[in-house]
Amino acid sequence: MRNVTFIAVLALLAGLMGSPVFGVEYGTDFLEPGNPGGVSGSLKTFDDEWTLGTGDTVDVDIWISDLPEDMITAGFVVEYDESRVSIANTAVYDGSLPGPWDGDMTTIVDDPAKPGILAVIVGNLSCIDPDASGDLAIARVTFECISPEDAQVTVKPVSDFDTVVGCEGAVYDPQMAFHTITIVQEGQGTSTTTSPSTTTSAVITSSTTSSPSTTTTTIKRCLSESIYGGTGEETRLLRHFRDTVLSKTAEGRELINLYYLWSPAIVNAMEGNEEFKAWVKEMIDDALPMMQKAVE
C-alpha cells in the first residue's frame, strides 16, 4: 500500500468536504460541421443523439453546465459498449486544447476498472470562471463507430471521489445525474468528422498529461517518498498517521482515496519545479507535529 500524505492533497483541494449543491449537470456537444467547439466559439448545441456510419468518427465536447461559481477541479467518467463504439482520441482543455485547466493537474485513465471506461480529471490551483452561461468545458472525446448497432454512452461523476468542486468548497458530484447520449450507427461510412490537428490523445494509468503529444508516465514513488525518502522518519510518521488515524473514519478514508487519485499529479508537478516542491514540503512539515500528537 502506498504511503499517504493527505495534508498536501487537502491543501491543494481545499473545501472538498463542503456541502453539496443542486443543479449542476453534464452537457455533451457533438461537433457538427460549422461548430468549432471549445471554450470560445462553440455552438453548445448540447445534443443527445448523433448518426454515423460504421468506421466514421465524431468529436464530442464534454462540459459541466449551470455552475453557480468558479471551479477548482472537475471530472467525469465515460462508460460505453466497446463492441459498438470506441474512443479514438481524448484531448483536454488544458493547453493541449486551448482552455483554462492546468495540464500538470490533468489525469486521464483509460479502462481504470474494466474495458469501456474512460476517466478524466482536471484542476487548477487558481479558480476557473465558467462562461456567461455557467458552463465549463473539460475535454473533447472522439468516438468511432465499430459496428452497425446503436451505442449508448454515459457520462457520470467519478465514483467514490469528489471531483466537481467549487472554489467556495461546494461539492457537486452527489447531485449530478448520469447523462446519456446515443450514437446511432447505420450502414458503412467512408467519411469522418475530425477535430483540429492540434488535438492530442493520452492514455495513462496513473500519470498526468499537458503536452500536445501522447504521454505515458509511470510514477515510481509516492508523494512522501519523493520528499522524505522511503525510510525517512517523516515517511514512517505519515504511514502511521494513515493507518491509525485516517483509516478509522469515513472522512479519513475519503482523504486516503483522494491521495491515490491526486498524488501522481502532485509528484509530476514537483518534478523540475523546486519552488513548488519546497512549498509542498513546508506545508507537510508544518503539519507533522499535529500528526505526531494525533498518533500518540
Find cell 445525474 and name the residue. 177
Nearest to 21 by CA among 179, 166, 178: 166
Q: Considering only residues 130 and 262, tell me which one the structure prediction assigns the higher pLDDT.
A: 130
Alpha helices in the chain (DSSP H): 6-12, 223-228, 233-244, 250-270, 274-295
**The pLDDT value given to residue 113:** 56
**The pLDDT value given to residue 260:** 59
Q: In whole angstroms, what is the distance from residue 204 CA to residue 215 CA? A: 7
Handedness of CA 139, 220, 263, 127 (dihedral sign): negative
pLDDT digits (tens, 9 = 90+) for 147-200: 888 999 999 999 878 899 998 888 898 888 899 999 997 654 333 343 333 333
**The pLDDT value given to residue 1:** 29
Overall pTM surpassing 0.75 (yes/no):
no
The DSSP code for 49 is E
- Could you give the angle at the alpha carbon of 30 between the alpha carbons of 187 and 32, nearest 5°? 75
Percent of the chain with pLDDT strictly greater than 70 = 75
Q: Is the pLDDT of residue 141 over 70?
A: yes
Secondary structure E strands in the chain: 25-30, 49-54, 57-65, 71-80, 85-92, 107-110, 117-128, 136-145, 151-156, 165-166, 179-188
pLDDT digits (tens, 9 = 90+) for 208-247: 333 333 333 333 346 777 788 777 888 888 878 877 887 7
**The pLDDT value given to residue 212:** 36
Nearest to 78 by CA among 53, 50, 31, 113: 113
Q: Is the pLDDT of residue 112 over 50?
A: yes
**Residues in the chain, total:** 296
Q: Is the pLDDT of residue 34 over 50?
A: yes
Task: Tell me the domain boundaries of the chain.
Answer: 20-188, 223-295
Task: Pull the grid cell for residue 118.
Answer: 474512460
Residue 34: exposure state from Cβ atoms within 10 A (0-12, 13-18, ≥19): exposed
Mean pLDDT, the chain, as a whole number?
Answer: 77
| Domain 20-188 sits in CATH 1.20.59.20 | no
Find cell 473533447 and name the residue. 140
Task: Pull the grid cell for residue 84.
Answer: 459498438
Handedness of CA 276, 259, 268, 235 (dihedral sign): positive
Q: Considering only residues 246 and 73, tell me which one the structure prediction assigns the higher pLDDT.
A: 73
**The pLDDT value given to residue 122:** 95
